[in-house]
Amino acid sequence: MTSNNAESVNALFRHTRRLPLTALLDHIKGLLQTWFYDRRTLASSRSTTLSDYAENKLAEYSNNARRHVVVNIDQFHVQVRDGNLDGIVDFNSRACSCRKFDYFEIPCSHAIAGAMMRNINPYTLCDEVYTTNSWVMAYAEPIFPIGHVSTWNSSPDFVDTPVEAPDMVPRVGRRRTVRIPSTGEVHQTRKCGRYGTSGHNRKTCNEPLNTA
C-alpha cells in the first residue's frame, strides 16, 4: 500500500514523462486500459467472498484465534485473552482494543475468537471494500481509445488555437528525475542476486563464478 499515489505514478512515468504531451497522455491511457482489463479479468475469475489479501489475512487471524480464550462481558462486548496483549472486542462498533480491527476493518484474531464463540460469521465483520464484488466493480468501466483526431466531433464554436510554451527561465543544472526521500525513509541497499552481497547488483558483479 502507499500513502501517496502521485508518488507511485510519478516514479512509474519518470522516463515516459519526457515525451510530448499528447504522446504522454496516449501512453497513460494505454497503460490504464491494460491495467483495468487485467484486474477486471483477475477479479472476475475469483470464486471467494473476499479478495486474496483479505482471505489470507482472515485465514491467518482465524488460525491464531483458536488459541485464544474468550470471556463474555455483555451483549456486544467480549474479552479475549491471547497470553500477551489481551483484547476487548465491541461487535456493535466493529472495534477492538488492539486497534487492528478498527484500522484495517478486517476482524483481528480477538474479534474472530469472539465471533466463533457467538456463532457470528467472520465474513460479515469485514468491510465491503474487501469483497470480490467491490473488487470487480472497481474496474468495471472499460477505457476506450479516443480514435484518430480526424474522427473527433468538434463543437461548432471550436477554434484551433496554437498553444505556446510558457515564459519561464530554465533552472541551471541537470533536471531532477528522482524524488527526494521523505524524512526518516530508509534507503533500500542494492544486493547482488548471485552472492547476496551489498553495494552492487548481479550485472555489475566482479566476483568469480562459484562452480563448486
SS (H, E, C) the chain: CCCCHHHHHHHHCCCHHHCCHHHHHHHHHHHHHHHHHHHHHHHHCCCCCECHHHHHHHHHHHHHHCCCEEEECCCCEEEEECCCCCEEEECCCCEECCCHHHHHCCCCHHHHHHHHHCCCCHHHHCCHHHEHHHHHHHCCCCCCCCCCHHHCCCCCCCCCCCCCCCCCCCCCCCCCCCCCCCCCCCCCCCECCCCCCECCCCCCCCCCCCCC
pTM of the model: 0.65
Low-confidence ranges of the chain (pLDDT < 70): 1-4, 177, 179, 181-187, 194-195, 209-212
Convert the pLDDT of each residue in 170-202 to its tens digit.
Answer: 888 887 767 676 666 666 777 777 667 777 777
Quote the pLDDT of residue 20: 87
